[in-house]
Amino acid sequence: MYKVNNNTQKGKITNNIDFINLDGFIMPSRKKYFMIDGEKITGIKIVQNDFIGSVVTKTVSKKYKKLIKEITELLVDDDESEGSMNEVLNRINKFRNEIKNKYLSYLEKSQVEKMNKKLRILEKEAKTRLENMISYSLFNDNINTRRR
């Protein structure tokens, strides 16, 4: 394991406990490792607060944009169903929990509030559509039972 200071000096960490005890943010990787100079690096921990903020902001922004795109597609989809509205609500809750558990301490309050405001609007729309679908299906079931 290595720690890098000022991109020019390298200092070897001889003990895993030193790495674990460093306060910082562990960078996520899709492959569970990073390839650096032909070596698999499994954990990169950022300890500089300014850099942590920018990395986390970029990561969360990507996830947020992807979530908004997916939710919008589900809301606009012609084949609206209770399942798709439940999926929207589940994705919103999952994103909120992920932000709360992983990234909240590194994000600016204004950024979190801005995302939460838009998510509340989408959540409200999904809940309204879901309630309308449920009441409509109950209404149709009620009419069908009276006709028999």
**pLDDT tens digits, one per residue of 69-94:** 999 988 888 677 778 888 999 999 99
d(CA 116, CA 11): 41
Last residue of a domain, one of 15, 31, 46: 46
Same domain, 24 and 59: no
Same domain, 61 and 130: yes
Same domain, 87 and 137: yes
Non-local (6+) Cβ contacts of 125 within 8 A are 75
Same domain, 59 and 101: yes
Same domain, 28 and 55: no
Q: What is the pLDDT of residues 42-55, one digit of tens each?
A: 777 788 888 888 88
Same domain, 81 and 55: yes
Same domain, 27 and 100: no
Structure tokens that stand for 71 in this block: 């939710």
Same domain, 71 and 140: yes
pLDDT less than 70: residues of the chain: 1-20, 78, 138-148
* Count of domains forming the chain: 2
Determine contact, residues 10/4, Cβ cutoff 8 Å.
yes
CB atoms within 10 A of CB 3: 14
Same domain, 55 and 91: yes
pLDDT in the model for residue 9: 44
Q: State the residue range of the domain holding 111.
A: 49-147
d(CA 71, CA 115): 14
Same domain, 68 and 120: yes
pLDDT in the model for residue 38: 81
Structure tokens that stand for 101 in this block: 């558990």
pLDDT in the model for residue 134: 82
pTM above 0.75, yes or no: no
pLDDT in the model for residue 123: 93
